Structure 1
Amino acid sequence: MLSSPWDAAKHMESAAALAKELHNWREVADFYRKASELYNECGRSQPASDALAKAARALEDAVPEDAIQLYTDACIMLEEDDKEQMAFDLYRAATNVYIKLEKYADAATFLLRWGLAADKCNATNSQCKAYLSAIIVYLYANDFKQAEKCYNDCSQVDAFLRSDQNRCATKLISAYTEGDVEEIKRVAQSSAISNLDHVIIKLARKLPTGDVSALKKANAVQDEEPLDENDLT
Structure 2
Amino acid sequence: MYLDACAMLEEDGREQMAFDNYRAAVNLYVKLNRFKDAAAVLVRWGQSADKCHATQSQCKAYLSAVIVHLYDEDLKQAQQCYNDCSQVNAFSRSDQSETAEKLLSAYCEGNPDEIRHVVSSSHIITHLDHTIVRLAKQLPKGDVKAASVVEPGDDELNEEDLT
TM-score bucket (shorter structure): over 0.9
How many residues are treated as equivalent by the alignment? 161
Rounded Cα–Cα distance in structure 2 between residues aligned with 1:153 and 1:217? 22
Query: Which residue is 2:145 aligned to?
Result: 213
Instruction: Give secondary structure in 2 for the equivalent of 1:172.
Output: helix
Q: Is the 8 A contact 1:136 1:204 kept in 2?
A: yes
Q: What amino acid maps onto 1:107 in structure 2?
A: A
The structure showing larger relative contact order (alpha-carbon pairs under 8 Å, at least 6 residues apart) is: 2
Aligned runs of 1:1-233 on 2, under 5 Å? 70-189=1-120, 190-218=122-150, 233=162
Rounded Cα–Cα distance in structure 2 between residues aligned with 1:192 and 1:210? 24
Q: Deviations over 1:88-125 (max 9, x none)?
A: 11100111000000000000000111100100000000
Instruction: Give secondary structure in 2 for the equivalent of 1:146.
Output: helix
Percent identity, please: 59
Rounded Cα–Cα distance in structure 1 between residues aligned with 2:152 and 2:107? 13
Rounded Cα–Cα distance in structure 2 between residues aligned with 1:220 and 1:206? 29
Q: Is the 8 A contact 1:114 1:130 kept in 2?
A: yes
Q: What amino acid maps onto 2:139 in structure 1?
A: L
Instruction: Give secondary structure in 1 for the equivalent of 2:13.
Output: coil
Q: Would you tell me which structure has more helix in proportion to its own residues?
A: 1
| Structure 1 spans left out of the alignment, 5+ residues | 1-69
| Structure 2 spans left out of the alignment, 5+ residues | none
TM-score (norm 2): 0.92
Q: Aligned Cα RMSD in Å?
A: 1.8
Q: What amino acid maps onto 1:192 in structure 2?
A: I
**What's the CA shift for 1:72?**
1.3
Q: Is the 8 A contact 1:177 1:219 kept in 2?
A: no
